[in-house]
Structure 1
């Protein structure tokens, strides 16, 4: 049984221009122990998908789905209290805006200690000391050395990178079944980014924590994720094993991304001019019908005004009427 099973998730937003479908018929299956990369540009709907999973939808959202199951439980029928309980134990999220996710009137330490689990067998008078010890342990693991200074500070006194590290410590302390990481290494130096990714990989390998890694950095996703889902403008373009997608992408949007992937040849020739798709991502109030890449796609034809159904080739799926590498699909 999959850990997370989403079928045809659609999110409509109320805007001054009427309802718009920010996500349209998005499907995703995550098995226990997966590290799935969710790739897409800003505005592709990655963060909306993450918030829908954890139950942080806004009042102007209308969510519908054929199925939205987590560990055998129906997320669509859960009450708010049940979703909060799930968030506190089985699902954790590293948010994209770290400083804005903390209470500015409370110290970092008080918020961090509040989120720390109490080790089993701890006597009630030892809980405070046990939580403090655990908080220091996880802060060290994410690369914070001056833990006392950090815990005595307020969020507005810290840099974005420091707030991000604290948020990561809070998210992984419970060793959740599913960890959603939305741009977890933004504003971090290269050495710290590598340390965080290694830590997430260790949690995955040693604790079987499933990771959904959201990023627009293709190089990081291809290095750390064993599977990828590519979003374009609220629709799933392609999904499958990372090495298969990098080697033979089917969807035109995915192929453009892979053509720009910074491999050794591109690094060696910094003056190389790469092909790009014409135009730009459409605004939500002006979404094209059918395949949303249609107006920009080099292979678009009249049939593309109809949204393509997902096509499956073993563990590889794509949504395109006229895919690349068709001769290799059989």
Structure 2
């Protein structure tokens, strides 16, 4: 019995050190310093439930550039401003590719998303659509009346709730406003009723996509488990993204049937597809719309909700903000976009809200491969 136990222990010892040796041989030799790694899991045990804080503490020990082994993935963590600037500005081409979480492979989204596509013809076309029709100065100025209209609808909804002694859910109200602003920019129509407490289901789907995308997924560290999907994250993401894609399919089909020119983003996209069918197709366009709706709705409503929460927690700040509005704008008047530069205190409240409650992840990951040597 003792002999069997000794043999089992020896075999386990040999197996563990074989795995360690394989990992050491397969990884680069010129990595920056980092913490000691365990077999198989590497440094995953050091991340904890707040990875950004854990990485900050590790950086204090191992320096602003350190290497970690997260499961099967060799990772270099850069946490200093100077090093980050060097990577982003001077070596942006080498570090341009994004690491693709397994969750966004649902509906094959990652292969058509402007966020995750490598620099390619399709990526450049999607970027051109964004820069020309949404983010350019001319587009922003052309849509100023639309933004003002949506803000007025939001104020009208809040006034209606006040007169009927009803409560206002800040996050849903802000979500409806940004959702309809985006939908009018892209499809020239509201997706939800701006004067009613609607859009709850759409908001829940967007929030579910954000939540599933942000969850720790063991597949991202052990790609061999991809087919198993142990957490069920990709399966749930497929369901959530499918709901949004169904809405896009209906809107695109409706436009193709009526064949009316709306001079919006959808028209531009359909024209590009018609003129260059080999360059881009509807899958890329629907993924682009999904990126816009996920990035542009939940983040904005979350920021507004947190800003309102913080000023209500701090009556002194609320009083100063109201005083600035009454002095610069006038009591009962609506704030216009041109007034923002004259409201420095309100602008500081928004910036501080973004600092305290960032609507995006604390860290981003990029994927790159080097054939030469690197000096750390």
Bigger CA radius of gyration: 2
What TM-score comes out, normalization by structure 2 length?
0.25
> Greater strand percent: which structure?
1
